[in-house]
Amino acid sequence: MTHSPMRWFTALPLALCAAACRTNPAIPFQADHWQFFVLGGRGAVKDDFVEQRNLVGLEVVVPRENTKGWCHEVGLHFASGEGNGVRNLNHAGTSTTTSERELDFRELLVGARQVYNRGERFEPYFGVGIALFRVDSHETFLDASSVEHHDGDHWNDYGIYMRTGVLWNTLRGVLAEETELKLGLDMRGLYASDYSALEFALVLGLGK
């Protein structure tokens, strides 16, 4: 498989992130605006062993001053999943065994977000960005002699993501002056060279 499609998909978030920085002024955001989010959810993973994973995340979103709804976003996501698969016991593939595998993901994401109806009770949004992550694999299997073996591996990868969701702004000025509690739903698709995922998460945040 060539890497040219991956380069093309990687260029898309970079171009949109650049657009976020170059958008003509339209809405005068204040420079001290910020949003902090905690996410929790579940995702479907395209992997030979793991089909689903649980995830939690921390994200910070900072609106660009004097732009039409553009924001920067950065976050850390942690996810884990487990499943069964078939492992070859020799290079010829003539001897196989069932293997149990656990995968742990640590992800750093950086991207741009377009927020619609900024300041209203409901704020839909769309975002794109780049994800850098590390995957740790823990595997348990029985060999041809029924002896249990444990194997571990790890690798680094990168990919792109696209997301959409909606935030509900509530409790304005109750927790602190000029702040609001944010509740929301988020859906994110992630594409990387080794695997892809589709995630759904509940969002709890505090914004100013």
- For the stretch 16-55, pLDDT in tens is 444 444 443 333 334 457 889 999 999 988 776 678 889 9
What is the mean pLDDT of the segment spanning 74-94?
78
Helix (H, G, I), strand (E, B), or coil: what is residue 17?
A: helix
Q: How confident is the model at residue 59 (pLDDT cuts 50, 70, 90)?
A: very high
Asked whether 79 and 55 are in contact (CB, 8 A), the reply is yes
Output 149 or 66, whichever has higher pLDDT.
66
Output 54 or 90, whichever has higher pLDDT.
54
pLDDT value, residue 183: 94
Q: What number of other Cβ atoms are within 10 A of residue 1's Cβ?
A: 6
- The H or E element spanning position 15 is helix 4-22
* Whether the predicted pLDDT of 179 surpasses 50: yes
The angle formed by the CA atoms of residues 167, 208 and 70, to the nearest 5 degrees, is 65
Q: How confident is the model at residue 89 (pLDDT cuts 50, 70, 90)?
A: low
Phi-psi region of 22 (alpha: psi -120 to 50; beta: other; left: phi over 0): alpha
- The H or E element spanning position 9 is helix 4-22
What is the mean pLDDT of the segment spanning 109-133?
92
Residue labelled with tokens 């002896």: 147
As a whole number of angstroms, the distance between CA 206 and CA 179 comes to 7
* Whether the predicted pLDDT of 5 surpasses 70: no
- The H or E element spanning position 191 is strand 180-192
pLDDT value, residue 26: 35
